[in-house]
Structure 1
Amino acid sequence: MLVQSGAAASLERVITAMAAKEGHVGGRLHADLADHIPSYRAVPRELLDQIWHRHFQRALAVVREGTVPLPDDFEEADVARDRVARGVPLSDGLRAFRRGLSAIRDLFIAEATERGLDPGLIVDRTKCLWELADVASLQIAAVHRQAEVASALFDARRRADFLRGLLYGTLSVAEIHSGAAIYGLDLSRPYRAIRAVPSGNVSPDALERCLESHGRRNGRAALLTVLDEAVAGVIEAKPEIGDPEVTAGLGPPTDLAAVHRSFPAAGRLLEAARAYGLRGIYDLSDLSWRVAVVAEPELAELLIDRYLRPLEAEGGFGALIEESVRGYLERGRHIREVARSAHVHVNTVR
């Protein structure tokens, strides 16, 4: 709207009157936010005053010029990062901003009406302030979400770095204590290292969430992340997750500061379970000698020389013995089932 010189002078007087009340209106707004948006109680007053001054001056410029800045002209990234760091939700940030713009708009209407500003100009500038609220809200939402993503990525990296150092034994005592406090781990309790890979269509990220969720049940603690395309971390007890699409090794329990000794065992158990095509979560008591066979090729070769190669000299009879033994083991050592499958008498199998 084109403003004539007389109207421009009247408009400037309104702006001057508004500027004189910036601090007063800001004080009332601060009290209003504290009463109605609890998350804003964590934001220092001096920081709120700085942001309020920025918004107030921008609104005065809109009232004066009658134009609204483009979205890219709004510098809100620093505010978004601060609110995310303080745990202020986006919805609360938008509510606070709109309360602030509403206070400015009410102030403009009151001062303009009192000074007899042209009604058409009042309507035009009020519409501009509404548009300012819409454009700024969209930009605030965009930068807030960007800040949330950046914060989540940073937290994920920090979490992964802590677990990597913990599992490989590169953290100092102070770093272990600090990380335990951040991630809710109890230094007085024993933990077991776990290393897991999906055995179905589950992604590593989904597997991490599943294992950590089950590991935290009944007051137990767990902390996992995706390391080198596998899920790794520490857990208090073996998770009970029914029929899992996972193969995992669980190391022996140890103090948190010594969990790097449990992690290699978890890796060996995982490799043993994968070598036998097993699904589930396995510790040493579950796999016993299978771990040694997989981890020690020489031992595996010794066992083959002792028990399997002698059967080769027996020809077809040796093959029949091997087949019978395999059937015996596969059927849970039930001789009658082996005999029924082979169509021979039980004593023949024996």
Structure 2
Amino acid sequence: MPGQPVGAVPLERVIAAMTAQQGQVGGRLHADLTGRIPSYRAVPRESLDEIWHRHFQRALTVVREGTVPAPEDFGEAEVARDRAARGVPLADGLHAFRRALSAIRDLFVAEASEHGLDPGLVVDRTMCLWELADVASLRIAAVHRQAEIDSALFDARRRADFLRGLLHGTLTAAEIHSGAAIYGLDASRPYRAIRAVPNRGVTPDSLERSLESCRRGKGRSALLTVLDGAVVGVVETPPETGDLDVTAGLGPPTDLATVHRSFRAAGRMLEAARAYDLRGVHDLSDLSWRVAVVAEPEIAALLLDRYLRPLEAEGEFGALIEESVREYLKRGRHIREVARDAHVHVNTVRYRLRRFEELTGTSLDAPDTVVELSWALAARELGTPPPGPGRACP
């Protein structure tokens, strides 16, 4: 044709011949991909045909013009999101793309030879197709990774929303069963709510990952997330924290529909454990009545006034009385053990205990005195009136 560059007519014939075989080559490629790459069996045929057409037409443009598009001109974000959502790994996606470009390149070389295309032009366009594969692979990798990040963030938000509703009791029965199915919880089994906070500079995110790792290693069902600076969720069995520097409260076992009650209890357990500067996972069986010492500061103040304030007027001797009373209760009311450990005579301990009864107007043989005094001593151990319920975690 007049006015066309040398090699243009044969090149267009090559392109026309390639176009005529697009469907046939695409069919073989589809069979090849689904046979060799298992993850691609989840991708619908129409989706693969669509992206194959896009790659083929882009390659024909490169063959015709001899230039490769800039990376930003590759609109692969939608495809990458689709592949990531279907569980296709990045390596599989890149492998599939390179097999597609290899098929196009082989077709070009075959048709170029068949139509007698200038060897120099064949080499040039083949090099362009190689460059196309490199540039597109980098772009596909970038958008695929971003799609994976976006998908992970979306899943994390959805999981957090489900757990927030579950733990605060705002989900319907249908929402609970649906979420349980999605996140691998057995709605027929009891679960325990947990609230955990890291210590010594450990971040909540790293604590969540550690607890998840421990849980997977034991094959136990659980669902955790980070909410408001704490790791919260539901577990089938108490997690093993190992060397983790963590303080956690564990609620009682209950079904998922009422696990919000267990979550409130877990908050009280965490609050008490932190008040006593404890480490590890604690439930009501560990903390017992000490939970109430933290949760009821008014009662603690009343008992401190009744049993320990009267000793302050005795000065240093009052402190010795308090210490003897504390050890007396701690050692099961065995006076001789208290005396031995304090390196004093038994009668000295007896005198201190009798003086306590005189100052407080109580009897250490009375069950109420033992309970209330233990409460007052535990409150004294805390040092300051503890915060009210709900302060440790929202």
TM range, smaller chain: over 0.9
How far apart, CA to CA, are the structure 1 residues paired with 2:116 and 2:312? 110
Partner of 1:250: 250
The amino acid across from 1:161 in the alignment is D
Partner of 1:31: 31
How far apart, CA to CA, are the structure 2 residues paired with 1:314 and 1:47? 87
How far apart, CA to CA, are the structure 1 residues paired with 2:272 and 2:312? 27
The amino acid across from 1:106 in the alignment is D
How far apart, CA to CA, are the structure 1 residues paired with 2:346 and 2:131? 89
Q: 1:137-188: per-residue Cα shift (whole Å, max 9, x none)? A: 0000000000000000000000000000000001111110000000110111
Partner of 2:157: 157
1:127 aligns with 2:138: no
Q: Superposition pairs for residues 60-209 of structure 1, below 5 Å?
A: 60-209=60-209
Question: 1:220 Cα shift?
Answer: 2.6
Question: 1:244 Cα shift?
Answer: 3.1
Partner of 2:324: 324
Deviates more, 1:192-201 or 1:84-93: 192-201
Partner of 1:18: 18
How far apart, CA to CA, are the structure 2 residues paired with 1:123 and 1:192? 67
SS in 1 for 2:6: helix
Question: 1:298 Cα shift?
Answer: 1.4
Question: 1:338 Cα shift?
Answer: 6.1
Q: Which runs of 5+ in 1 are unaligned?
A: none
Question: 1:330 Cα shift?
Answer: 8.1
Partner of 1:295: 295
SS in 2 for 1:193: strand
RMSD of aligned alpha carbons: 2.2
CA contact (8 A) 1:190 1:256 kept: yes
Question: 1:329 Cα shift?
Answer: 7.4
Larger Rg: 2
How far apart, CA to CA, are the structure 1 residues paired with 2:347 and 2:242? 39
CA contact (8 A) 1:215 1:236 kept: no
Partner of 1:309: 309
Question: 1:203 Cα shift?
Answer: 1.3
Count of equivalent residues: 348
How far apart, CA to CA, are the structure 1 residues paired with 2:58 and 2:331? 79
SS in 2 for 1:224: strand
Q: Which runs of 5+ in 2 are unaligned?
A: 351-394
CA contact (8 A) 1:26 1:49 kept: yes
Percent identity (aligned)? 80
Question: 1:318 Cα shift?
Answer: 1.3
How far apart, CA to CA, are the structure 2 residues paired with 1:332 and 1:229? 41
TM-score when normalising by structure 2:
0.84
Question: 1:310 Cα shift?
Answer: 2.1
CA contact (8 A) 1:194 1:263 kept: yes
Deviates more, 1:261-270 or 1:238-247: 238-247
Partner of 2:229: 229
Partner of 2:42: 42
Question: 1:22 Cα shift?
Answer: 0.3
How far apart, CA to CA, are the structure 2 residues paired with 1:76 and 1:117? 32
How far apart, CA to CA, are the structure 1 residues paired with 2:260 and 2:281? 19
Structure 1 293/145 Cα, relative in aligned 2: closer, same or farther at 3 Å? same
Question: 1:345 Cα shift?
Answer: 3.8
CA contact (8 A) 1:208 1:231 kept: yes
Question: 1:306 Cα shift?
Answer: 2.5
CA contact (8 A) 1:169 1:258 kept: yes
How far apart, CA to CA, are the structure 1 residues paired with 2:109 and 2:256? 63
TM-score when normalising by structure 1:
0.94
SS in 2 for 1:225: strand
SS in 2 for 1:6: coil
The amino acid across from 1:40 in the alignment is Y
